[in-house]
Copies of this chain bind each other. A is one copy, B any other.
Amino acid sequence: MKQVAIGIDIGGTNTAIGLVDREGNILYEKQPQLPTPQKRDNPLGSEKISEDLLNDFVSLLAEEIKSAIEVVGKINPAIEVMGIGIGAPNANYYTGTIEYAPNLPFVGVIPFAKMIQEKFPEIHHIRLTNDANAAALGEMIFGAGKNMKNFVMITLGTGLGSGLIVNGDLVYGSDGFAGECGHTTIVHEGRTCGCGGKGHLEAYCSATGMKRTVYELLAKYNSTESELANIPFNEMSSKIVFEAAEKGDKVAKEVFDMTGEWLGRALADTVHHISPEAIFLFGGPVAAGDYIFKPTKDSMERHLLPIFRNKVKILPSSLKLGSAAIVGASALVWKELEKVGK
């Protein structure tokens, strides 16, 4: 029998569904992805609407899982589905719940794993965690973190997620929510974060944070000559900043330098906590290579205690941008089987 796991990633816009084998190969991936229910469908946070949206979504998801198993089963009848791993915002590993997720239309604490379990009583391992934790597990099971007992995964996207591996296991903490480094404070009373807090790392070093830095610098220098000055706020991306930097744009380069300065300082704080062997960066901005890695590394080293210097690698994640979510979510299942010795 070939062992496979279902990997699901519930994003703000779409939900990815795939079937992954124990080597991390994606045997099936639903295209196009399933639309995630939207906050605008339940703007007042009605419990009734939440329940309806949720039931419909879980039913659709179950159908898609079934058809994934069917499709792969036709090609390879000897597959055994070992579990379902789900990456979702504010997902609690211990309880299998999604709790007060600010970007989902569901109200309160949602027993998501239990609802999926009811659709698949025959599947034993159904596990939830947030997407950055899932990515960290993916890096550990399939990626460059394979032989590491202590490392950190940082995901740079709309937000800034993180997953910590300590002593060979993901850190879930006392409540199942550990690893929210994006919400550590790096600038006292600084930029407003998506969570409502102030000066959080996410507000500076996520892809969105980089965008904000572009306009802060344009405003500071009145840089009419920068090509970034011709692009509206809502169209800016880390890719555009990278391309501008490649052409020598000073503002673009300074955006990377500042992002690296902030990120390196925050990573030093993380090293002071758990002293990892490596820190993996994942997401769009990573494509900028040395533009982002060099200032980040420089700043981290400068902010480290001497005993930690020149020890911690900062590396691009080995997970692929498109498939990391599914592969990471499936890793939840493989890690679980490893724990029970299967």
Residues of chain A at the chain B interface (Cβ within 8 Å)? 90, 99-100, 148-151, 164, 166-167, 169, 171-185, 187-188, 195, 197, 265, 268-270, 272-277, 303, 305-308, 311-312
Q: How far is the CA of A169 from the CA of B183 in the complex (A)?
A: 25
From B100, B277, B306, A174 is in contact (CB under 8 Å) with: B277
> Is the pair A303, B197 in contact by a Cβ cutoff of 8 Å?
yes
The answer to whether A185 and B99 touch (CB under 8 A), given A177-B275, A269-B269, A276-B173, is no
Q: How far is the CA of A204 from the CA of B125 in the complex (A)?
A: 47
For A179, the closest partner residue in chain B by CB is: B273
Question: Which residues of B are found within 8 Å of A188, using beta-carbon distances?
Answer: 187-188, 265
Q: How far is the CA of A151 from the CA of B174 in the complex (A)?
A: 8
CB distance from A337 to the nearest CB of B (A): 18
For A169, the closest partner residue in chain B by CB is: B167
> Is the pair A171, B274 in contact by a Cβ cutoff of 8 Å?
yes
CB distance from A78 to the nearest CB of B (A): 36
- In the complex, the count of this chain's copies comes to 2
The A interface is mostly helix, strand or loop, or mixed, namely: loop
Q: How far is the CA of A19 from the CA of B249 in the complex (A)?
A: 66
For A170, the closest partner residue in chain B by CB is: B167
Question: Which residues of B are found within 8 Å of A174, using beta-carbon distances?
Answer: 148-151, 275-277, 311-312
Shortest 9 CB-CB contacts between residues of A and residues of B: A173-B275, A178-B275, A174-B277, A184-B269, A150-B174, A180-B272, A183-B305, A184-B272, A273-B273
Q: How far is the CA of A178 from the CA of B99 in the complex (A)?
A: 31
For A176, the closest partner residue in chain B by CB is: B275
From B180, B182, B195, B305, A180 is in contact (CB under 8 Å) with: B305
From B169, B176, B274, B305, A273 is in contact (CB under 8 Å) with: B274
Q: How far is the CA of A274 from the CA of B173 in the complex (A)?
A: 5
Q: How far is the CA of A277 from the CA of B188 in the complex (A)?
A: 26
CB distance from A150 to the nearest CB of B (A): 4
> Is the pair A164, B305 in contact by a Cβ cutoff of 8 Å?
no
From B148, B169, B175, B307, A275 is in contact (CB under 8 Å) with: B175
> Is the pair A166, B171 in contact by a Cβ cutoff of 8 Å?
yes
For A173, the closest partner residue in chain B by CB is: B275
> Is the pair B305, A197 in contact by a Cβ cutoff of 8 Å?
yes
CB distance from A187 to the nearest CB of B (A): 7
Q: How far is the CA of A288 from the CA of B88 in the complex (A)?
A: 43
From B164, B177, B182, A307 is in contact (CB under 8 Å) with: B177
Q: How far is the CA of A166 from the CA of B183 in the complex (A)?
A: 20
Question: Which residues of B are found within 8 Å of A184, using beta-carbon distances?
Answer: 268-269, 272-273
The answer to whether A274 and B164 touch (CB under 8 A), given A174-B150, A177-B308, A184-B269, is yes
Question: Which residues of B are found within 8 Å of A172, using beta-carbon distances?
Answer: 275
11 further A-B contacts with Cβ under 8 Å, apart from A149-B174, A166-B166, A166-B173, are A99-B307, A164-B274, A166-B167, A174-B276, A177-B308, A180-B275, A180-B305, A184-B269, A195-B306, A197-B303, A273-B273
Q: How far is the CA of A263 from the CA of B270 in the complex (A)?
A: 16
Question: Which residues of B are found within 8 Å of A178, using beta-carbon distances?
Answer: 150, 273-275
